[in-house]
Amino acid sequence: MKEKQKCIVITFYTTAEAMATEKICMEKGIEGKLFSAPRALTADCGIAWRSAVECAESLKAALNESGIEYAGFYEIMI
């Protein structure tokens, strides 16, 4: 069984914001990936971005700089 690890999960109001996050992260070299948002976190668009905890500050800065609105920013075990 795969061991759980702490990560950053960002949820979005719309799919467009989730896709824009993927594009910005690729451009800035911030590792992560889109995945199905855990129901316990949101019922918004259903897509979330998952990244390593170490990326939290650069991720927040990139989203704020790009004007991408997100529903929630969580540090959870997945």
**What are the sequence ranges of the domains in the chain?**
6-77
43 has a pLDDT exceeding 70: no
Centre a 10 Å sphere on the Cβ of residue 26 and count the other Cβ atoms it contains: 11
Do residues 78 and 7 touch, judged by C-beta distance below 8 A?
Answer: yes
The pLDDT, as a whole number, for residue 42 is: 76
CATH number, span 6-77: 3.30.70.980
What whole-number distance in Å separates Cα of residue 67 and Cα of residue 77?
27
Interval 19-32: pLDDT, tens: 999 999 999 999 99
What pairs with residue 7 in β-bridges? 52, 76
Q: Please work out, in degrees rounded to the nearest 5, the angle formed at the alpha carbon of residue 7 by the alpha carbons of 31 and 12.
A: 75
* Residue 1's pLDDT band (cuts 50, 70, 90): confident
Inter-residue contact 24 to 12 (CB < 8 Å)? no
Checking if the pLDDT of 39 tops 80, the result is yes
